[in-house]
């Protein structure tokens, strides 16, 4: 006799096998008991090949794609196909899936990391906003457009921490710091997945690349990674752990090795840490062709070995390669792979599809009328403009060169001034160059008839041709000010695009030198996907605006800042080196036994320093100027003791001492004076954006808990240690206003440790 729940599940199974009644009798996708019963009964009816099909994602390049779908032997396929009618494509393939025996819906996925059709600033730029509410709105807009076209799963956010700007994929992440990285990761997750994964405008998100990909040796993509356990747990794992705790639906292992083991085959990492210790219940999807690449890594002799190792490690889904489809049936039949491993993985896949609401309505994520309303909508364009504007960082502004008067004669010069495609970046989903407003057009529109705006390209982004420099010089000589738009295009940033040098490519520096030599004020607008080494520009031009890769609204956003319609408010999420030889460079470095002190010349030869460049960066983490100025009062702590289970509040009064409204990002850092392992010179533990009118003040308050001070203590695992901690609050990682408190072990107070003389603002 069936239980009441079993009968209900059987009825639900009957619904899914009859597409005409889909959605008519299904319970809400938020009902866990119904989901488990439904999935278990569906799983019991599946053949081995149908099960393995659910563990496979094939691309549009697979010749038998449609036949696999009709046969019910495929879990999903890519839905991010530039140049295609994605809505028509996803609907057609879902209709094919409804012709299969069990009518299990497909899911459609791809890289939606900074927009779908409306293209927003790249993730590194979004991190420069330090505005989590804005980032959430951006990714929700991206999800709304993608889901309206039938795409229900994004391979984002990328939360790899990176301290080496040579790596091209820094453009996809949030920079060098785990606290900022985790905050941005959670904001993106809220934007993609929302509060209800089954809502028609939310989609599954993926935490990638688990873990350490951002620390590849030499900054060279796909290279090996070696991380000591302390660095792994304190820096590289926290953003992933934050996403797991926040309910991320999927995790993608890194393509790379971590301490000699490819992540795709690392059972201790994927099953031991991720599933068992962290309690992750979602799906683990391989990176593109990562499973057969286990042979190239040298740990699998055959494709069958690769499939067996990946599945045993915990990889549920094979992305693109077809290795699971080809190898797993025989491995199960000959007893090499237990059917239980297959069933566990399939159950996780079906659970995810259930939570998406696909069994309730296989076509819920394709809606032509909604697509027409949201895609490239005025609201999304306005959001893209705001996000681009907030992401830009003013690096230099001598003698208040900016903002510009619209009545000036302006020379707009450079290879990226009138480039549309480069403003989209490398991974721009369905973005189209014709939707981009380039910088030249934005400046002309903002200046109107009051200004004379002339243009010369000068040089290409890359290449040795300098024949256009002379013409650019003549344009500059006839102007009152030159706006130089320099940097990198999509061929120099992103996956597979690591660089050994961090300067301006091609003849761009020669162009800059020639324009500076005219004696006219020069404003540089940088378009780039990584920190660059621009010491010469810093020393010779009047102003520098870091614009990153801003997306569709590039021109209007740049013009808003150049002409003072808005004041810059972005802050750097990565340190800018003076020279590539300083890399890796980051603010949260360890002190040494022989620290370099720039205030004294005593024994400098035997301290940690370079003989040809200062230790300090060109621009530090958290740095960014404004058209107004902010002052910080004394740091106030509401107690000099923090006990286990307690909280401590740190506050500071921030005042706008300039003559115009502006925003600043107030940043809190801590430093552990003495620990059982050498502590970093300081660590970001809080930030808040504040907007103040001229002359206005605001008290900014932070909460510190003992858990905020936890770190990896070797064999004792993550935890805290009693002792004295310094607190710094200011506008970047060099903040000097400070206080201190004692973290008590919960029973007896701890003696206050004297401040070490070498503890100071970080060098990088």
Q: Could you give the residue numbers annotated as active site?
A: 287
The answer to whether 597 and 614 are in contact (CB under 8 A) is no
Q: Give the 3-state secondary structure of 224-292.
A: CECCCHHHHHHHHCHHHHHHHHHCCCEEEECCCEECCEEHHHCHHHHHHHHHHHCCCCCEEECCCCCCC
- Cα dist. 45→7, 14, 282, 343, 598 in Å? 15, 12, 22, 12, 73
> E strand or H helix at 651, and its extent?
strand 648-656
- Structure tokens belonging to residue 676: 């059982």
- Cα dist. 391→210, 297, 360, 388, 455 in Å? 27, 39, 40, 5, 26
The answer to whether 188 and 139 are in contact (CB under 8 A) is yes
The answer to whether 226 and 235 are in contact (CB under 8 A) is no
Chain center to CA of 338: 37
What percent helix, strand, coil does the chain show, rounded to 5?
Answer: 35, 20, 45
Q: Is 103 exposed, middle or buried (0-12, 13-18, 19+ CB in 10 A)?
A: middle
Which residues partner with 697 through β-bridges? 655
Residues across the chain: 764
Q: How far apart are CA 460 and CA 463, in angstroms?
A: 6
Q: How far apart are CA 56 and CA 281, in angstroms?
A: 18
In 3-state terms, what secondary structure has residue 357?
coil
| Helices assigned H by DSSP within 505-635 | 508-516, 535-540, 554-562
- Structure tokens belonging to residue 457: 């390209």
Chain center to CA of 78: 21
> E strand or H helix at 189, and its extent?
helix 178-193
In 3D, which of 485, 551, 561, 624 has the Cα closest to residue 129?
Answer: 624
**What's 211's DSSP letter?**
T
Q: Is 501 exposed, middle or buried (0-12, 13-18, 19+ CB in 10 A)?
A: exposed
The answer to whether 482 and 562 are in contact (CB under 8 A) is no
Q: How far apart are CA 550 and CA 167, in angstroms?
A: 20
CB atoms within 10 A of CB 298: 9
Q: How far apart are CA 219 and CA 120, in angstroms?
A: 26
The answer to whether 160 and 263 are in contact (CB under 8 A) is no
CB atoms within 10 A of CB 719: 12
- Cα dist. 556→379, 387, 436, 439 in Å? 15, 11, 10, 7
In 3D, which of 55, 668, 38 has the Cα closest to residue 307?
Answer: 55
Q: How far apart are CA 252 and CA 274, in angstroms?
A: 11
- Structure tokens belonging to residue 742: 């004692």
Instruction: Tell whether the torsion through CA atoms of 399, 405, 411 and 417 is positive or negative.
Output: positive
Q: How far apart are CA 545 and CA 401, in angstroms?
A: 12
In 3D, which of 431, 492, 427 has the Cα closest to residue 208?
Answer: 427
Q: Which residue has the tokens 């609204």?
A: 553
Q: Please state the φ and ψ torsions of residue 249, each to the nearest 5 degrees.
A: -85, -25
Residues 6+ apart with CB under 8 A from 85: none
């Amino acid at each position: 006799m069936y239980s009441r729940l079993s009968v209900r599940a059987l009825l639900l199974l009957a619904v899914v096998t009859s597409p005409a009644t889909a959605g008519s009798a299904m319970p809400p996708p938020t009902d866990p008991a119904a989901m488990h019963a439904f999935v278990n009964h569906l799983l019991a009816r599946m053949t081995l090949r149908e099960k393995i099909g659910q563990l496979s994602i094939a691309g549009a390049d697979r010749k038998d794609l449609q036949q696999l779908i009709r046969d019910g032997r495929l879990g999903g396929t890519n839905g991010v196909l530039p140049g295609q009618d994605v809505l028509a494509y996803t609907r057609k393939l879902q209709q094919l899936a409804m012709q299969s025996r069990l009518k299990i819906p497909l899911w459609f996925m791809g890289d939606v990391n900074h927009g779908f059709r409306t293209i927003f600033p790249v993730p590194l730029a979004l991190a420069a906003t330090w505005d989590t509410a804005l980032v959430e709105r951006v990714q929700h807009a991206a999800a709304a457009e993608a889901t309206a076209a039938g795409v229900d799963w994004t391979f984002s956010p990328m939360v790899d921490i990176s301290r080496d700007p040579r790596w091209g994929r820094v453009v996809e992440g949030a920079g060098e710091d785990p606290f900022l990285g985790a905050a941005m990761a959670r904001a993106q997750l809220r934007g993609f997945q929302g509060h209800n994964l089954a809502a028609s405008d939310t989609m599954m998100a993926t935490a990638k690349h688990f873990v350490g990909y951002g620390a590849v040796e030499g900054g060279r993509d796909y290279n090996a990674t070696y991380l000591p356990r302390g660095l792994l747990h304190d820096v590289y794992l926290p953003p992933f752990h934050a996403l797991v705790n926040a309910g991320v639906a999927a995790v993608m292992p890194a393509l790379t090795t971590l301490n000699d083991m490819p992540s795709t085959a690392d059972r201790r990492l994927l099953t031991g840490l991720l599933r068992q210790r962290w309690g992750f219940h979602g799906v683990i999807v391989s990176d593109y062709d990562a499973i057969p690449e286990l042979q190239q890594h040298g740990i699998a002799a055959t494709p069958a070995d690769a499939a067996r190792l990946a599945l045993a490690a915990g990889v549920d889904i094979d992305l693109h390669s077809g290795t699971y489809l080809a190898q797993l049936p025989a491995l199960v039949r000959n007893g090499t792979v237990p059917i239980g491993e297959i069933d566990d993985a399939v159950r996780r896949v079906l659970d995810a599809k259930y939570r998406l609401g696909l069994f309730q309505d296989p076509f819920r994520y394709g809606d032509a009328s909604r697509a027409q309303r949201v895609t490239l909508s005025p609201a999304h364009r306005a959001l893209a403009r705001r996000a681009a504007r907030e992401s830009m960082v003013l690096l230099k502004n001598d003698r208040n060169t900016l903002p510009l008067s619209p009545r000036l004669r302006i020379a707009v010069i450079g290879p990226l001034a009138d480039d549309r495609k480069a403003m989209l970046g490398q991974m721009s989903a369905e973005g189209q160059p014709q939707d981009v407003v380039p910088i030249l057009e934005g400046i002309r529109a903002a200046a109107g008839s009051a200004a004379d705006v002339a243009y010369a390209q000068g040089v290409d982004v890359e290449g040795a041709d300098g024949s256009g420099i002379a013409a650019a010089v003549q344009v500059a000589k006839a102007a009152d000010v030159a706006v130089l738009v320099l940097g990198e295009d999509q061929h120099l940033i992103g996956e597979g695009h690591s660089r050994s040098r961090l300067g301006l490519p091609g003849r761009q520096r020669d162009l800059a030198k020639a324009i500076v030599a005219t004696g006219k004020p020069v404003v540089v607008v940088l378009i780039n996907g990584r920190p660059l080494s621009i010491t010469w520009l810093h020393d010779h031009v009047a102003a520098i605006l870091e614009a990153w890769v801003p997306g569709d609204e590039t021109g209007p956003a740049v013009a808003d800042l150049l002409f003072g319609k808005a004041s810059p408010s972005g802050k750097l999420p990565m340190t800018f080196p003076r020279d590539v030889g300083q890399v890796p460079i980051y603010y949260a470095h360890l002190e040494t036994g022989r620290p370099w002190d720039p205030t004294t010349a005593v024994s400098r030869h035997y301290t940690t320093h370079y003989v040809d460049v200062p230790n300090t960066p060109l621009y530090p983490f958290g740095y960014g100027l404004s058209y107004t100025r902010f002052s910080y009062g004394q740091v106030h702590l509401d107690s000099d003791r923090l006990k286990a289970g307690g909280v401590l509040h740190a506050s500071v009064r921030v005042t706008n001492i300039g003559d115009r409204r502006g925003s600043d990002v107030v940043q809190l850092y801590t430093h552990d004076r003495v620990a059982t392992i050498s502590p970093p010179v300081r660590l970001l533990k809080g930030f808040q954006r504040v907007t103040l009118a001229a002359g206005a003040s605001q008290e900014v308050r932070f909460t510190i808990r003992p858990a905020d001070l936890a770190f990896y203590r070797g064999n004792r695992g993550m935890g805290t240690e009693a002792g004295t901690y310094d607190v710094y609050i200011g506008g970047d990682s060099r903040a000097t206003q400070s206080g201190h408190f004692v973290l008590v072990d919960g029973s007896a107070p701890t003696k206050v440790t004297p401040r070490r003389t070498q503890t100071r603002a970080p060098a990088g």
